[in-house]
């Protein structure tokens, strides 16, 4: 028996759930990005988590009572999203924009149960936010981090948990929110349904 289906391709989210002792199976998430999508970084994190959860492909024969979790993380610099860097040049530009400043990280969570009894799904959502500071990295530090390729596939062009960097620090909020999934928020959503 599993606690939830995780609609995510992120290895970091899997690790966080495993460490938390939550039982899950992976499912293919719904569409993350929509052309022309607009909104604040908080709104974007919530909308993408919602789409991932509602559009997820449930496994054949999967338990009908098990909810699907969609999660999305957005790095917010002055109200502007810094997405995933497609290359090292873009990652360098993102990290240069963050250097010497504080920024926000918002992780949206959407938990969807398949049926409330009338055929329509039940969903619960929460967005967790944290503040991260980035000191000015030296050229050598930045070059080494970019060469490590640890930044690939991560919002804002970085992973706060990456041992290859020492210039990003959690200033407020939860560390796991910045990594990509706030375990306490997931537990809260699960308990809300059971209450």
Residue 163 to residues 7, 107, 117, 125, 159: CA-CA distances in angstroms?
27, 22, 47, 31, 9
70-88: pLDDT as tens digits: 999 999 999 999 999 999 9
DSSP class per residue in 87-121? SHHHHHHHHHHHTTEEEEEEEEEEEEES-SSSS--
Q: 38: domain CATH number? A: 3.90.950.10
62-72: pLDDT as tens digits: 666 889 999 99
Closest by CA to 49, choosing from 9, 127, 109, 125, is 109
Question: In sequence order, which residues have a C-beta less than 8 Å from that of residue 184 and are 6 or more positions away?
Answer: 128, 174
Q: Active site residue: 3, 72, 76, 176, which one? A: 72
Q: How many Cβ atoms from other residues are within 10 Å of residue 11's Cβ? A: 10
How many separate domains does the chain show?
A: 1
Q: At residue 107, does pLDDT exceed 50?
A: yes
Per the annotation, the verdict on 87 as an active-site residue is no
Distance CA 42, CA 105 (A): 9
Query: Residue 165: which domain range?
Result: 4-194
Which pLDDT does position 67 carry in this prediction?
Answer: 93
- Predicted TM-score (pTM) of the model is 0.93
């Amino acid at each position: 028996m599993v606690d939830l289906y995780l609609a995510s391709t992120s290895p970091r989210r899997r690790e966080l759930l495993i460490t938390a002792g939550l039982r899950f199976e992976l499912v293919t998430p719904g569409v993350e990005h929509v052309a022309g999508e607009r909104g604040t970084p908080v709104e974007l994190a919530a909308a993408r988590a919602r789409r991932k959860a509602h559009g997820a492909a449930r496994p054949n024969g999967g338990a009908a009572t098990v909810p699907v979790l969609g999660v999305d993380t957005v790095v917010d610099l002055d109200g502007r999203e810094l997405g995933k860097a497609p290359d090292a040049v873009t990652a360098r530009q993102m990290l240069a924009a963050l250097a010497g400043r504080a920024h926000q990280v918002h992780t949206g969570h959407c938990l969807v149960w398949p049926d409330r009894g009338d055929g329509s799904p039940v969903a619960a959502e929460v967005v967790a936010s944290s503040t991260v500071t980035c000191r000015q990295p030296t050229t050598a530090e930045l070059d080494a981090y970019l060469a490590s390729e640890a930044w690939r596939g991560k919002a804002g062009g970085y992973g706060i948990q990456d041992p290859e960097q020492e210039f990003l620090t959690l200033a407020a909020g939860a560390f796991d929110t910045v990594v990509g999934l706030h375990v306490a928020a997931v537990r809260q959503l699960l308990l809300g349904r059971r209450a």
